[in-house]
Structure 1
Amino acid sequence: MLARQRQDVILDEIRRTGAVQVSDLVTRLGVSDMTIRRDLDALARRGLVEKVYGGATSMIGRSTDEPGFEAKSVRQLAEKEAIARLAAEQIRPGTAIGLTAGTTTWTLARHLDEIPDLTVVTNSVRVADALQQRGRTDRAVVLTGGVRTPSDALVGPVAVKSLRSLHLDLVFLGVHGMAPRAGFTTPNLNEGETNRAFAEAAGRLVVVADSSKWSTVGISTIVDFAEADLLISDDGLAAEARTALSEQVELLLAEVTEQEEEA
């Protein structure tokens, strides 16, 4: 198979699923790891894909672009792990918390095993699955209803109505982007409304967003910077972003360790 033919196959797969991994492409196309990486480099130079750790994803640009869960799950892995560890430290035993949909909150869900007696409310199928697989009898998981989005969030009037009857000690909000004038945003209008309901239910609102989200703007503002009580990001956040954010919200930066970077 010629290089352009391979690249067309790769591009078709990314358009279909949102993301590809080098290891899967090596098996499927019967070529070396290095050949696949050269193909991904070529597609990235043409502006057709975005290279990420271990593979590539579809390009993000417009404010309504909404990548699927699989596409987002291979991005900024080390940063999300570091953020999740720091976020878990904010949770006390015996509290009721909310986790919105997203790969950062999904990563956080897998860091809750040492915290006893939690009630977790989520609109994320993935988060609920991650928690239920642990089989913890001291933890209640409440999954709201609604229409399923590409990021596996359940959104819409049913979810909003459920959330408006709840009072949560702590809500962790995953976002698509953060920018000075737009605040914390999402590319999905219905998800924006549902996430605002989460924010209104929160005694304390914690945004979890890696540094790559800076200057990205989705179509719908969830909350302004000042409406969040805490933002947890990573130490790759640019100096200008640190200044702009710390003027309006408490900011914690997770240190990305060498072990996480190599994972």
Structure 2
Amino acid sequence: MLAAQRQSRIAEIVQTDGAVSVTALVEQFGVSDMTIRRDLDALAAQGALVKVHGGAVRAETRRTEEPGFEAKSGQMEAEKAAIAQEAAQLVRPGTSVALSAGTTTWALARLLREVEDLTVVTNSTRISDVFQAEPRADRTVILTGGVRTPSDALVGPLAAASLRSLHVDLAFLGAHGVSVPEGFTTPNYLEAETNQALLATGQRRILLTDHSKWGVLGISTFAELTEVDMVILDDALPAEAADALRDHIDEVRLVSPRTARAAG
């Protein structure tokens, strides 16, 4: 195979999967590690992808683009279900949790409806609606104020101010993007401030994000990798990316969507 043909195929793989490792490309094309790295250099120079530690990710050209909730909820559904199920195992009766806006945290909220004596702090109208639809006398839901975003998050100074005096056992946040060294990012700078405040409420801080977010860069960082205690992702994340995360985060959990049941 000619170099141009191989590079074209690599670009297609990255565009389709969102990320790929050098190791996987070496195995697929039967060429050396150095050859693949030269291919990635050439494709990165063309803007076809972005090189990261151990591989490459899809090039993102619109760092402030924020899809609506409905558009995001139809993406990576099995992966989000698996991540949410893993996260739900951390929540026990009598726990207080913070849930940021997002479709993965929304999937988690649906799994927490049966937890006894639960206190929920959220800036998501969608998550608040999940609990409101099935009220319980032993549950408290605190919804922040703020300006509503396309993803139905309440953000801005009012939302951040309402969170600063609160303390919860577990803070679960989603992310638009995750990378080294930019950390966890969002396409909305007002949401970054609110996410920082949400994260600060948690005694234990956990990020929930699927593999397609790896290498994506939003306009604003809301947390460095070292600021979280755990990240839960699906196992399609390249091994080199998982290793890079483990260099900065104490616990990295990879879950399989193949073993996840649909969230009820």
Shorter chain as denominator, the TM-score bin is: 0.7 to 0.9
1:114 Cα deviation after fit: 3.3
1:137 Cα deviation after fit: 1.7
Cα distance between partner residues in 2 of 1:135 and 1:122: 16
Q: Is the 8 A contact 2:185 2:217 kept in 1?
A: yes
Cα distance between partner residues in 1 of 2:222 and 2:84: 21
TM score, norm. by length of structure 2 = 0.74
Cα distance between partner residues in 1 of 2:87 and 2:259: 19
Say how many residue pairs are matched.
204
Q: Is the 8 A contact 2:85 2:260 kept in 1?
A: no
- For the pair 1:82 / 2:82, whether they are aligned, the reply is yes
Residue in structure 2 matched with residue 159 of structure 1 by the alignment? 159
Task: Give the counterpart letter for 1:97 in structure 2.
Answer: V
Residue in structure 1 matched with residue 133 of structure 2 by the alignment? 133
Cα distance between partner residues in 2 of 1:237 and 1:121: 29
User: In the superposition, relative to structure 1, how do residues 258 and 170 fare at CA in structure 2: closer, same or farther (>3 Å)?
Assistant: closer
Cα distance between partner residues in 1 of 2:261 and 2:212: 17
Residue in structure 1 matched with residue 201 of structure 2 by the alignment? 201
1:259 Cα deviation after fit: 6.5
Task: Give the counterpart letter for 1:127 in structure 2.
Answer: I
Residue in structure 1 matched with residue 143 of structure 2 by the alignment? 143
SS of match in other structure, 2:120? strand
Cα distance between partner residues in 1 of 2:64 and 2:261: 31
Cα distance between partner residues in 1 of 2:260 and 2:210: 17
TM score, norm. by length of structure 1 = 0.75
- For the pair 1:123 / 2:134, whether they are aligned, the reply is no
SS of match in other structure, 1:203? strand
Gaps of 5+ in 2: 1-58
Residue-by-residue CA offset, 1:89-119 (whole Å, 9 max, x unaligned): 0112112110000000000000013321000
Residue-by-residue CA offset, 1:15-60 (whole Å, 9 max, x unaligned): xxxxxxxxxxxxxxxxxxxxxxxxxxxxxxxxxxxxxxxxxxxx96
Residue-by-residue CA offset, 1:210-261 (whole Å, 9 max, x unaligned): 1111000101101111110000111111112111001111101111126759
Higher RCO (CA < 8 A, seq sep 6+): 2
Cα distance between partner residues in 2 of 1:231 and 1:124: 20
Cα distance between partner residues in 2 of 1:113 and 1:183: 31
Residue-by-residue CA offset, 1:61-100 (whole Å, 9 max, x unaligned): 3111111111101000000000000000011211211000
Cα distance between partner residues in 1 of 2:61 and 2:75: 16
Cα distance between partner residues in 2 of 1:151 and 1:60: 19
Residue-by-residue CA offset, 1:115-135 (whole Å, 9 max, x unaligned): 210000000000000111112
Q: Is the 8 A contact 2:170 2:204 kept in 1?
A: yes
Residue in structure 2 matched with residue 190 of structure 1 by the alignment? 190
Residue in structure 1 matched with residue 73 of structure 2 by the alignment? 73
Residue in structure 2 matched with residue 168 of structure 1 by the alignment? 168
Q: Is the 8 A contact 2:145 2:154 kept in 1?
A: yes
1:166 Cα deviation after fit: 0.4
